[in-house]
Structure formats: structure tokens, C-alpha cells
Structure 1
Amino acid sequence: MIRHIVLVRPRADVAPEAWASLMGRLDSVVDALPGAMTFRSGSNVSPEAGMGKGYSEAFVVDFHDAAARDAYLVDPEHVRIGERLVQMAQDGPEGIVVVDLEIGS
């Protein structure tokens, strides 16, 4: 399984409703893709002050395997959402961190 983790430092002027709408669109994309298992998004609620380095929003997508993740990465709607995500992030792509973990054997 591949766990795709994305952390975002949103711009201060991004309305919570705009963020929620974008996450809803992304959830719909994930739901429609073969091999995509789960989508979760939310705000950082860690009590460890300052450890989030301003990355206050995050989402996680679990895929059966790397092939399913790779199909997601090139999906046209995912690409459009990714472009919008970059626009909403503080400092564009510098305000986004992506980590993929291989889970299990």
C-alpha cells in the first residue's frame, strides 16, 4: 500500500469554504479512481506548538499500490486541483510538502 501525505501552508486570504470545496473535489477524484482506497483531510490539531511550521492543512490518500498512485498523479482533474492547491499555498509550491510511504509488505 502507498500512503500519499500532503501538508499545506495555505495563504492567509484563503477562505475556509474555498479550502473545503477543493478538498471535496479531491475526495471525488479519489473516490472515482480504481486502486484508491481512502481519502482524509483536516487541519493540524497537534498540541506541539510550532512543530507544524505553518503547515496547518493536510490530506492523506491511501492507494493499493504505486500503479494506482501513479494513475492518480496524472489524472486530469487531479492535475487541475493540484494547480489550484499551488495557488492557494503560501509561496506556491514552497508551501506544500508531499511524502509517499510504502506501508506493509
Structure 2
Amino acid sequence: MTDHVVLLALRAGVTETDLLSLGQLLAGLPERIEGIESVRFGTSNSPEGLEQGYGYGFLITFTDEHARDHYLPHPEHSPISALAQQLSERVLVYDIAT
């Protein structure tokens, strides 16, 4: 299993509608790409307050590293990556294989 963690430090002026659009793109991934087990996304609700400006994130769980490697160049990844970049000042990606 491989978890693909993406954290976004949102630009000023990003709206709930913008985030809803990103969420809708993410939500459909398991149906469109083999090897994606689940997708979760949303704003941080940590009581620790250690987000360092990363106020929104998503987690894509893949069956394995090969499925993740298949997703990265996949045409369905491009609009997600583009929108995430458009909405963010900074993007942090961290993958964990278990």
C-alpha cells in the first residue's frame, strides 16, 4: 500500500467553490483509475495548530507503488495537479509505502 499525501498552502482569495471543484475531481479518481483504493480530502481539523500554512490536503491510497507510478502520468492527474497549483502558494507531496 502507498499513501500519496498532498498538502496545499492556499492562495488568498481561494473560495469554497474552488475547493469543491478540486474535491469533485479527487472524488471520482477511484472509479477512473485502477489501483486507487481510496481518496480523502479536506481542510485541517488538527487541534495542534502545526499546519504551517497548509490549510487543505488530500490523501490518495494506492494498492502499491506501481499503481501510484501509473497515476502520476495519467491524464486524470493533470487537471488535479493544475488546479492544485493554481489554488496554492506552496504544495507539499509526501508518499509513504507500507
TM, length-normalised to structure 2: 0.93
How much has 1:9 moved relative to structure 2?
0.7
Matched residue SS, 1:74: coil
How much has 1:77 moved relative to structure 2?
2.3
| Higher percent of residues as helix | 1
The sequence identity of aligned pairs, in percent, is 34
How much has 1:48 moved relative to structure 2?
1.3
* Correspondence list, 1:26-105, <5 A: 26-49=26-49, 51-90=50-89, 95-103=90-98
Contact residue 30 and residue 72 of structure 1 kept, 8 A? no
Matched residue SS, 1:34: coil
After superposing on structure 2, the runs of 4+ consecutive aligned residues of structure 1 that deviate more than 4 Å are none
Contact residue 39 and residue 62 of structure 1 kept, 8 A? yes
Partner amino acid for 1:78? H
Q: Which blocks of at least 5 consecutive residues in structure 1 are unaligned?
A: none
Partner of 1:6: 6
The range that moved more, 24-33 or 67-76, is 24-33
TM, length-normalised to structure 1: 0.87
Q: CA RMSD in A?
A: 1.1
Contact residue 43 and residue 56 of structure 1 kept, 8 A? yes
How much has 1:53 moved relative to structure 2?
0.2
Contact residue 29 and residue 36 of structure 2 kept, 8 A? no
Matched residue SS, 1:31: helix
Partner amino acid for 2:54? Y
Matched residue SS, 1:47: coil
Q: Which blocks of at least 5 consecutive residues in structure 2 are unaligned?
A: none
> Distance in 1 between the 2:30 and 2:54 partners?
22
How many residue pairs end up in the alignment? 98
